[in-house]
């Protein structure tokens, strides 16, 4: 836990969670950006950077900050990110790795055929204007009501599958148009659907509570709000940069554009952002339904139940203890995962004794992890932890260094099947373009942000 004390306009300290090696390798821009975040009005306690932090737009990716609206606190579109509510859900299948192996290639081909992936990918769902607004208001609850999954799924999704306070009217026609044909699609970049095996259990008590055992086959779905979220982020960042001066907000970096939480623009952004959260929850729910259909054809004995779904690009209203008093804060997590500890009332009863599942995605071909939130993280970081490996190399540099076909062939030699519509995309997401996810997770564990529960290894990866 590295503290950068307040200086040059910082209202609070900046704190970075990292091993010494991660700290030395971290982009210098992360320190600059997290110190800039600490200058924003109404910020509480500190500005935080997770062990996977790297340069982002305004906030570093891996940045966490909480703001008090009663102290002039702000909401920042750059503190949420462009891919609003990008997140991960983990499905348990009831299968063992020995069941998967004989039909692994057939499963890879079927998933690749049925799940639209890649830049501009379109699904089979077409939303008219009224259905678009219903989806933006209803989230995963809307999807379940239309036959995409079961009500049991909703109990293990953040917010019960529906973010309250969404305002479809605050979402532009351009954003809605971009999303019209994109429901039930993975998209591109680092998004994926991955079939994995539980390779190692690191906390037997919590793993038993989560129902995880060595050799189990699980499925991770990693995606967000697609074009709609990106459009919302782009539009509001532009508007916030213009309005900030009117509210007397001096920005250390134009990319930190923000608006007072209680302002008209702040309320409008929150309504649009919450609608994008619902879009992401509905999208992952539809992808789950498609995945269940594929498994039912190839593995009739499989039973895909949802362990948990958690987002890592959000701003949420939460109650936290600050200086001995409970305060209602607007917590920004950009490339950071909520990690509430045991006993938190928002958790479903069967998970509450163990803490919230924290799902850490690997970088195509590397391990992923299941963690659990801790009571300590509630005090240290507003109940937040890392979200993945974190890039160590730009996509442009990765494309220059790596060949997608060669990466896919190498991974296949190690028993990992990659299916993607774009070998260029595979090269951009090469495992060596990311930090060591195991080192990042160990840093989070050592810092007390989360307990490390299980390590997952990839078997099939459908890559956008």
List the domain boundaries for the chain. Answer: 2-392+434-463
Q: What pLDDT score was predicted for residue 122?
A: 82
Q: What pLDDT score was predicted for residue 178?
A: 95
Q: Residue 99 and residue 412: Cα distance in Å, rounded?
A: 19
Q: Write down the H helix ranges in 26-82.
A: 28-37
Q: Are residues 139 and 277 in contact, defined by beta-carbon separation less than 8 angstroms?
A: yes
**CATH assignment, 2-392+434-463:** 3.90.1860.10
Q: What pLDDT score was predicted for residue 433?
A: 83
Q: Residue 408 and residue 118: Cα distance in Å, rounded?
A: 16
3-state SS class at 43: strand
Q: Are residues 110 and 298 in contact, defined by beta-carbon separation less than 8 angstroms?
A: yes
Token pair, residue 241, equals 């940069």
Q: What pLDDT score was predicted for residue 396?
A: 85
How many Cα atoms within 13 Å fall on the side-chain side of residue 413?
A: 6
Q: Residue 31 and residue 15: Cα distance in Å, rounded?
A: 9
pTM, entire model: 0.96
Q: Residue 36 and residue 79: Cα distance in Å, rounded?
A: 12
Q: What pLDDT score was predicted for residue 35?
A: 97
Residue in the structure block whose two tokens are 């989560």: 210
Residues annotated as part of the active site: 387
- Name the phi and psi angles at 390, rounded to 5: 85, 130
Q: Are residues 367 and 455 in contact, defined by beta-carbon separation less than 8 angstroms?
A: yes
Beta bridge mates, 206: none
Query: How many helices and strands (H and E) does the chain possess?
Result: 15, 18
Q: What is the pLDDT along the chain (464 residues), one digit of tens a residue?
A: 999 999 999 999 999 999 999 999 888 899 999 999 999 999 999 999 999 999 999 999 999 999 999 999 999 999 999 999 999 999 999 999 999 999 999 999 999 999 988 777 787 889 999 999 999 999 999 999 999 999 999 999 999 999 999 999 999 999 999 999 999 999 888 899 999 999 999 999 999 999 999 999 999 999 999 999 999 999 999 999 988 889 999 899 999 999 999 999 999 999 999 999 999 999 999 999 999 999 999 999 999 999 999 999 999 999 999 999 999 999 999 999 999 999 999 999 999 999 999 999 988 889 999 999 999 999 999 999 999 987 788 888 888 888 888 999 999 999 999 998 888 888 888 888 888 999 999 999 999 999 999 999 999 999 97
Q: Residue 91 and residue 305: Cα distance in Å, rounded?
A: 5
> Would you call 380 exposed, middle or buried from its count of C-beta atoms within 10 A (0-12, 13-18, 19+)?
buried
Kind plus residue range of the DSSP H or E element containing 131:
helix 129-145
Residue 199 makes CB contacts below 8 A (sequence gap 6+) with: 214, 367, 455, 456, 457
Question: How far are the Cα atoms of 175, 356, 386, 438 from residue 451, in angstroms, in the given order?
Answer: 38, 10, 12, 13
- Name the phi and psi angles at 409, rounded to 5: -65, -40
CA-closest candidate to residue 437, choices 256, 194, 261? 194
End-to-end CA distance of the chain: 35
CA-closest candidate to residue 393, choices 54, 21, 80, 17? 54
Q: What pLDDT score was predicted for residue 152?
A: 97
pLDDT in tens, 411-450: 999 999 999 888 888 888 888 888 899 999 999 999 999 9
Q: What pLDDT score was predicted for residue 78?
A: 95
Token pair, residue 399, equals 């494309």
> Would you call 361 exposed, middle or buried from its count of C-beta atoms within 10 A (0-12, 13-18, 19+)?
buried
Q: Residue 69 and residue 283: Cα distance in Å, rounded?
A: 31
CA-closest candidate to residue 194, choices 311, 128, 111? 111
- Percent residues over pLDDT 70 in the chain: 100
DSSP code per residue over 380-438: HHSSEE--B--BSS-HHHHHHH--HHHHHHHHHHTT-EEE-S-HHHHHHT-GGGB--HH
Beta bridge mates, 331: 66, 316
């Amino acid at each position: 836990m590295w503290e950068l004390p307040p200086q040059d306009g910082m209202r609070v300290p900046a704190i970075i969670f990292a091993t010494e090696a991660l700290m030395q390798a971290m982009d210098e821009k992360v320190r600059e950006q997290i110190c800039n975040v600490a200058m924003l009005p109404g910020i509480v306690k500190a500005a935080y950077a997770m062990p996977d932090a790297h340069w982002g737009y305004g906030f570093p990716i891996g940045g966490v900050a909480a703001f008090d609206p009663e102290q002039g606190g702000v909401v920042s579109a750059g503190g949420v990110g462009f891919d609003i509510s990008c997140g991960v859900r983990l499905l348990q299948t009831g299968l063992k790795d020995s069941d998967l192996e004989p039909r692994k290639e057939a499963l890879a081909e079927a998933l690749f055929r049925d799940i639209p992936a890649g830049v501009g990918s379109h699904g089979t769902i077409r939303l008219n204007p009224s259905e678009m607004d219903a989806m933006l208001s209803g989230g995963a609850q809307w999807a379940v009501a239309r036959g995409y999954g079961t009500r049991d799924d909703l109990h293990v999704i953040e917010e019960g599958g529906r973010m309250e306070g969404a305002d479809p009217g605050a979402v532009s026609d351009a954003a809605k148009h971009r999303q019209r044909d994109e429901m039930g699609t993975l998209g591109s970049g680092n998004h994926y659907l991955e079939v994995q095996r539980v390779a190692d259990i690191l906390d037997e008590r919590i793993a038993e509570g989560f129902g995880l055992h060595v050799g189990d086959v699980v499925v991770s779905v990693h995606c967000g709000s697609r074009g709609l979220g990106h459009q919302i982020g782009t539009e509001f960042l532009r508007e916030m940069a213009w309005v900030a001066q009117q509210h007397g907000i001096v920005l250390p970096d134009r990319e930190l554009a923000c608006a007072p939480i209680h302002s008209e623009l702040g309320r409008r952004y929150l309504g649009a952002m919450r609608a994008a959260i619902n879009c992401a929850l509905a999208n992952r729910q539809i992808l789950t339904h498609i995945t269940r259909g594929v498994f039912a054809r190839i593995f009739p004995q499989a039973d895909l139940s949802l362990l948990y779904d958690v987002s890592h690009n959000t701003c949420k209203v939460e109650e936290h203890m600050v200086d001995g008093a409970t305060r209602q804060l607007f917590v920004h997590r950009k490339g950071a995962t909520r990690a509430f500890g045991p006993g938190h009332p928002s958790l479903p009863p069967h998970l509450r004794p163990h803490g919230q599942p924290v799902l850490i995605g690997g970088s195509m071909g590397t391990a992923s992890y299941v963690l659990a939130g801790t009571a300590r993280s509630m005090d240290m970081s507003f109940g937040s932890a890392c979200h993945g490996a974190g890039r160590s190399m730009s996509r442009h540099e990765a494309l220059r260094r790596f060949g997608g076909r060669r990466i896919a062939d190498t991974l296949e030699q190690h028993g990992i099947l990659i299916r993607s519509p774009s070998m260029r995309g595979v090269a951009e997401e090469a495992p060596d373009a990311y930090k060591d996810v195991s080192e990042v997770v160990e840093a989070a564990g050592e810092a007390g942000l989360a307990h490390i529960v299980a390590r997952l290894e990839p078997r099939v990866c459908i890559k956008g």
